[in-house]
Amino acid sequence: MTEVKNMETMIATENQQEATEVMAFLGELEPQEKKDFLVFMQGIRFAKGMAQKIAPQSV
């Protein structure tokens, strides 16, 4: 039996078109490609967080 999961996300109106395009892109990916994309995005988030911690704080 396959469980179907649905999720709703609230986004700003000005980002609606971009979100629609991203969801369409994700819908075209195979399951393994989705996992690889998730790992990639998690790496980007990690690197961005590290860059913010390293950047000197202005006074």
d(CA 58, CA 47) in angstroms, rounded, equals: 20
The reported pLDDT for the residue numbered 54 is 81
Q: Tell me: the pLDDT tens digits for 6-40?
A: 777 777 888 899 989 999 999 999 999 999 999 99
Q: pTM to 2 decimals? A: 0.62
Q: How confident is the model at residue 57 (pLDDT cuts 50, 70, 90)?
A: low
Show me where the domains of the chain are located: 30-59
Q: Detail the DSSP E strand segments found in 1-59.
A: none
The reported pLDDT for the residue numbered 53 is 84
The reported pLDDT for the residue numbered 8 is 76
